Structure 1
Amino acid sequence: MGASDIPDLTFTPIEEIQERVTRVQTTFLEHKTRDVEFRLVQLRKLYWAIKDHEQQIVEALRLDLNKPRFESEIGESSWLENDIVFISRHLYKWVKDESAPDIDLTFKFMSPKIRKDPLGSNEGLNSAFNFPFQLTLGPVLGAIAAGNTVVIKPSENAPRSAAVMQKIVESALDPSCYTIIQGGIPETQALLAERWDKIFFTGGATVGRIIAKAAAPHLTPVVLELGGINPAIITKSANPRLVARRLLWGKLMNAGQICTSQNYLLVDKALVPAVVEEFKKAYNEFYPHGAKASADYARIINEGAFRRIKSMIDNSKGKILMGGTMDEKDLFIEPTVVQVDSPDDSLLIQESFGPLIPILPVENLEEAVNIANSIQSTPLGLYPFGSKADTEKILSMTRSGGVSVNDAALHIPTLPFGGVGESGYGAYRGRSSFDIFVHRRPITSSPGWLESLLAIRYPPYAGKLSKFKAGSTLVPDFDRTGQKVTLGWLRFVFTLGGGSAKAGAGRAAIVAAGE
């Protein structure tokens, strides 16, 4: 299969967008997607559509990013296929009503439960070109599983992938429930002008702020999966060989165009020479003839991104210790290790989204943490290397969307994935992909025989307040200084030997008797 087998990307006419949005919104109100088996059929059909188009996916990614087949399959088609199988196996369990936790026994008579209701019509916006299939369709799987209708907007910066994705979606999914819109800024603006029940956006912080602002007038909840200036902190207890091999891999996949890859290394100064030497050894092992000659190394997405990364190196005051070769015509940037001497260097304070590996020597772990927190205190990822004691100390003094200890951008596919603060909010993947697209709707049911207890709430109130408080007030297990106290046998008697839940039943019985 070659380039001729990939369809051209055609933008959706602006005048069609509102009609398509209205269609999926109307379908949701007709309750078509409420049926769990309907959702599963859609997911299963999508699985086979992805499977049938695997070769086109590989070819589209080669044309857009020169992405190696290995990376295309494990990070795109196979990833999505596994996700669909995982969701399909667990969906009936996920949709079941849950018993509400930590409920006083008094209220258990009302059968409190949590129902997972679909949110409605959702918009999936993806300006991220680096994993166009995974990052666009991954959230869509959760939205479908949760019973929503969806409008999908892929990134126009990976045009061949967007075109193949449209072919997959339209061949598999019910068009009254799920539709795909192609385009750039005007088409995105038209979508944002509509009212949504949730917007899911993957991309950069600048556009993320625009999305959040556009959603605000309608009070539309937004999930923002943004990038981050992710630190790798290398303590003196770290293994230099593992540091170099694993962090180099983190910058080789997709030529470093991964939002979870480390942006810079803070290395204990005693380890810097060994770490640099191990980077060179690992690079020569991974690419014996250099990255440019290898079929296993991707390219930068376009000229604009190439020039942005190049300018970061040009503006840096650091010293190149490995790599540095560039070819704009081929959009090639070699994995490049640069030693810098200031936390203010351009390679540290900007997200490279490319194969740059800046190293800043530090005196100790505490200095590394202080620098990381000053550059960006809420990155998407954090990568501490060293002993358990050292890495736990780092975790206790930092925040991040996720953490991989002694590894690079590895993330287990079914773990929640999302940012915090500047790196976004909301998490998906695995069970979380379902949870983020449902409303946890609390439901109670009051039987008729409960009226004898509920009567205390009705007017007239005279003489009822003390009884009501006797039946509802919890006794604190702490004193005025904030210290926990033990009530001993008195608490055991008051709670009927069963803690706060049984205490509620005891109080209720007393109140009922008083009536």
Structure 2
Amino acid sequence: MVVLDESIKIRPLEYTPVETIQKKIAVARDAFYDSKTRPVEFRKLQLRKLYWAIRDNQNRISEALARDMGRPSYESQLAEILWLQGEILFTLKNLDKWLKDESAPDIPFIWKPLAPKIRKDPMGTVLIIGACNYPFLLTLSPMIGAIAAGNTVVLKPSEQPTHSAQVTQELVESALDPSCYTVVQGAVTEMQALLAEKWDKIFFTGSQNVGRIVSKAAAPHMTPVVLELGGLNPAIVTRHADPRIVARRLLWAKTINGGQTCTAQNYILVEKSFLPALVDELKKAYKSFYPSGSSKGPDFTRIVNDKAFQRLKAMLDNSKGKIIMGGQLDEKERYIEQTFIEVDSIEDSMVINEAFGPICAVMTVNSVEEAIGLARKVQDTTLGVSVFGNSSDHQKVMAGLRSGSVSLNDAQPHVNTLAFGGVGESGTGAYRGRSSIDVWTHSRPYTNTPKWMESLLDVRYPPYTSSKLRMLQLSMGTTPDFDREGRQSRFTWLKYIIGGTPASAATRVAAYAVSK
């Protein structure tokens, strides 16, 4: 276990009085309607202050995570603190470019005088509901994008890691404008009060079950929802892989944060001939990572709470498989050793339940094709897929399986500026990097029709005549370059000459206007 620093004082978590929640939301909504968050410089100032709040309080953040999860400081730096700092700096560096009005692409010639553009407009007042496994990253990372996009935010941290929730509130309240950004603490009652309100967007990270509750609550208001959920992520290992590389990388995915990562593999499908080498290398990798075992020393995170521990223990107890590595548990410390169990059915408890911890099923297959078929049956739309093998193996799996993201020859890494999100059962919507602007804004098109176009626009006004209709048909460029059988014409040059393109149609409309 990690050694706690008792000199760092963290106040006990206090839930927000339910009767004050509506007022908090109203203040944030008024700030948005007052255009307080519209100026880009205001947004940048908030992000700069948040950056320094995180950097100046990194010891408090690490200590909160150590008390909540037994998390080593190194992992807190790697997976949360440095990530958040980097994300803020990357956003600040690119924000002006991301928010600049864009000329609309693929505009027909006749409409170009209207100068169509697209503006990234903030959604409004939004709700962000954080998760317990990476309580700072998965709460503040969505908020960084929401701030940058110009929204006002109500933040609901997970109440399960209590110290982390308290420190998150301290960071927000010390750094950000309280009229635009506020925190609501609580559990079921407070969550229900939040979901009863009308929002301009809701962002939820967590389980599929709660995700369904959030979606159902948002539906009456037609509120758009971003869902970042988990999934039964497969790792597929072929005979073309390097057993040492595979073992070290898969074991790391079940080691960092105690395996409590939504993109970590839930089960491994490995070609039968490769299994002995993989098991041997897993044991070597474990010995390399933890010479005295992961139960000793400060480098292995514990399970986030007792309920999660009991759920993982039940998965192990109910499995009909054989332990090929690990298996030690300590309920008092909420410690579960990295454990791999060989199973012979995708109906095993280790496969059909999301692990979200340092345990993993292993099942042999005869081919990549068999692995793809089994993975589809387990869950067709996972958050992540890991594939270890050659280029041919990679392409087969990427074509055969759907997922939010894919890791080729690695387990669960994600570039912090790359779009991240699920598909189908694993979620909807993506954020991080530029995608955080896209997810928190409405792409609002606008045009400006010049006065001189009035003659050209005569075709749209009554009285309607056959000559106007003909000019309208020409202007819309409705002459196809294919026949009724769907075969593309070889004589597109002729179509251009006789006036079938939008450009030549525009010329005809212009001629009509001049004649008028």
- Place the TM-score, normalised by the shorter chain, in its bin: over 0.9
1:252 to 255, 264, 275: 255
Q: Secondary structure at the match of 1:311?
A: helix
Match runs of 1:471-490 below 5 Å: 471-490=475-494
In the alignment, which residue of structure 2 is the partner of 1:512? Answer: 513
Shift of 1:408: 0.3
In the alignment, which residue of structure 1 is the partner of 2:30? Answer: 26
Matches of 1:275 and 1:442, distance apart in 2: 54
Q: Is 1:187 paired with 2:190?
A: yes
Shift of 1:313: 0.9
2:60 alignment partner AA = Q
Shift of 1:472: 1.5
Matches of 1:470 and 1:495, distance apart in 2: 8
Match runs of 1:310-389 below 5 Å: 310-389=313-392
Matches of 2:459 and 2:22, distance apart in 1: 53
**Taking structure 1 as reference, are residues 506 and 310 closer, same or farther at Cα in structure 2, changes over 3 Å only?**
same
TM-score, normalised with respect to structure 1: 0.97
1:408 to 400, 411, 420: 411
1:52 alignment partner AA = D
Q: Is the 8 A contact 1:2 1:59 kept in 2?
A: no
Per-residue deviation, residues 182-235 of structure 1 (Å, max 9, x unmatched): 000100111111111000000000000000000011111000000011000112
Per-residue deviation, residues 109-149 of structure 1 (Å, max 9, x unmatched): 001000111110000012x2110000000000101001110
2:437 alignment partner AA = F
Matches of 1:420 and 1:460, distance apart in 2: 50
Gaps of 5+ in 1: none
Q: Is the 8 A contact 1:103 1:501 kept in 2?
A: no
Q: Is 1:109 paired with 2:113?
A: yes
In the alignment, which residue of structure 2 is the partner of 1:100? Answer: 104
Matches of 1:508 and 1:256, distance apart in 2: 65
Per-residue deviation, residues 362-402 of structure 1 (Å, max 9, x unmatched): 01111100000110000000111110011101111110000
**Taking structure 1 as reference, are residues 430 and 504 closer, same or farther at Cα in structure 2, changes over 3 Å only?**
farther
In the alignment, which residue of structure 2 is the partner of 1:5? Answer: 9
In the alignment, which residue of structure 1 is the partner of 2:85? Answer: 81
Q: Is 1:129 paired with 2:132?
A: yes
1:115 alignment partner AA = R
Matches of 2:44 and 2:51, distance apart in 1: 10
Q: What is the root-mean-square deviation in Å for CA atoms of aligned residues?
A: 1.3
Q: Is the 8 A contact 1:104 1:504 kept in 2?
A: no
Matches of 2:505 and 2:140, distance apart in 1: 47
Match runs of 1:115-514 below 5 Å: 115-126=119-130, 128-463=131-466, 464-494=468-498, 500=501, 502-513=503-514
Matches of 1:139 and 1:507, distance apart in 2: 51
* Worse overlay, 76-85 or 420-429: 76-85
Per-residue deviation, residues 216-274 of structure 1 (Å, max 9, x unmatched): 11111000000011000112212211111111101100110000000000001111111
**Taking structure 1 as reference, are residues 89 and 310 closer, same or farther at Cα in structure 2, changes over 3 Å only?**
same
Gaps of 5+ in 2: none
**Taking structure 1 as reference, are residues 180 and 321 closer, same or farther at Cα in structure 2, changes over 3 Å only?**
same
Q: Is the 8 A contact 2:474 2:502 kept in 1?
A: no
1:305 alignment partner AA = A
Q: Secondary structure at the match of 1:380?
A: strand
Q: Is the 8 A contact 1:233 1:385 kept in 2?
A: yes
Shift of 1:484: 2.8
1:356 alignment partner AA = I
Question: How much identity, in percent, do the aligned residues show?
Answer: 54
Matches of 1:3 and 1:20, distance apart in 2: 33
Q: Secondary structure at the match of 1:270?
A: helix
Q: Secondary structure at the match of 2:273?
A: coil
Q: Is the 8 A contact 2:8 2:63 kept in 1?
A: no
Q: Is the 8 A contact 1:56 1:164 kept in 2?
A: yes
